[in-house]
Amino acid sequence: MKKFWHATVDAFETFLRVPGTVTLKGAHVRDAIDLKRIMIIAVISVIPAAIFGMWNVGYQHSLAIGDGRLQILANFWYGFLRVLPLYVVAYGVGLFIEFFSSGLRGEEVNEGYLMTGMLIPLIVPVTVPLWMLAIAVAFSVIFVKEVFGGTGMNIWNPALVTRAFLFFSYPSAMSGSECWISLKSGEKLVDSFTGATPLALDGAAAQYGTGIWDYIIGTIPGSVGETSVIAILLGAAILLWTGVASWKIMLSSVIGALFVGGIANLCGTGIPCWEHLIIGGFAFGTVFMATDPVTSAQTECGKWIYGFLVGALCVTVRLFNPGYAEGMMLAILLGNTFAPLIDHCVVTTALKKA
């Protein structure tokens, strides 16, 4: 029992101060880097998208009830109060399971969930019922991560599996045109308003007065954190400057999306290929989720292939599957599934040459 609690106590202590553990063998000195640092950088990189997402929840609410005034603080506060419960549930449920299983395994608590918990509320509709979110988080942390042995051993990105679980189990809460807008009880939508995302409108968004700059700034309906390309690019800049995420994956994902979108354009269908990059979850997924070091490709060459696959699949689903307006989630999960195979081919080929 004492050992069981050790993981929890240790997690809190090492959170506050670096332990006085010294190297026992091998290299006598070690780099100052640890997973806590890498994870905190990743978490910080998501903050711009999170803050903008909270404001946008409030802004979309104002639009929906016909209040077109730009009230920055009031809108943020409204959104903050709506998103906060999602964070409480995501971190509460996830960290409880994480601490519990670390205790069972007798290992120190891995910091990986800090990033997962940061992402989950940003990739779901703000109206998702909290009990659904709790079940989805529990499913994903237990069956996608802990049964494989915890962070580092998982095959799929746990945050995305949380979303996939919600998407397939409770489709009505995850798609359509109502779920993206948070309303207080009794409030009514104004007539000219639609809460549908630009992707679901399939090119018809312009008639509702949304344009390219709305996509880039992010003043459109969508999952909490995914709408603002600017906020996401800020995060990308942090990740690339610190080298925490791979620029190869980001770049090749963009190339993959442009490639498939471009082919469709040549065949005369679909929105202009570059628009795929700024609507839906593409930017968010490419920057924060496809680059997860555990579930993406391991090798440098594999990263190019993996990123390309993710971008290409995302646009393929968007264009050719009438059932799903958005393809990023499925594209990354499929990319995760194929990453070990891609690496296997890369490693085998490289070693044959030697």
Q: Please report how close the Cβ of residue 345 comes to other proteins at its closest, in angstroms.
A: 13
Considering only residues 1, 2, 3, 19, which one is a binding residue for other proteins as defined by CB under 8 A? 19
- Residues 304 and 20: their CA atoms lie apart, in Å, by 40
Considering only residues 4, 6, 35, 189, which one is a binding residue for other proteins as defined by CB under 8 A? 35
Torsion sign over Cα 237, 240, 243, 249: positive
Q: Please report how close the Cβ of residue 246 comes to other proteins at its closest, in angstroms.
A: 8
Question: Of the listed pieces 13-21, 119-127, 207-215, 216-224, which binds other proteins according to CB under 8 A?
Answer: 13-21
Q: Please report how close the Cβ of residue 240 comes to other proteins at its closest, in angstroms.
A: 9
Q: Does 351 bind other proteins (CB under 8 A)?
A: yes
Residue with tokens 């390219």: 212
Considering only residues 4, 6, 8, 40, which one is a binding residue for other proteins as defined by CB under 8 A? 40
Pair 346, 301: CB distance under 8 Å: yes
| Cα distance from N-terminal residue to C-terminal residue, the chain | 51
Q: Does 41 bind other proteins (CB under 8 A)?
A: yes
> Which whole-number Å values give the CA distances from 307 to 46, 181, 219, 250, 289, in the listed order?
20, 31, 27, 7, 11
Q: Please report how close the Cβ of residue 73 comes to other proteins at its closest, in angstroms.
A: 27
Pair 223, 328: CB distance under 8 Å: no
Q: Does 3 bind other proteins (CB under 8 A)?
A: no
Q: Does 38 bind other proteins (CB under 8 A)?
A: yes
CB closer to other proteins, 24 vs 70: 24
Q: CA 277, 337, 33: angle at the middle one, nearest 5?
A: 80
> Which amino acid is it at 353?
K
Compute how many other C-beta atoms are within 10 angstroms of the C-beta atom of residue 23.
9
Q: Which residues bind other proteins (CB under 8 A)?
A: 10, 14, 16-38, 40-41, 107-108, 110, 112, 149-153, 241-244, 246, 293-294, 296-300, 303, 343, 347, 350-351, 353-354
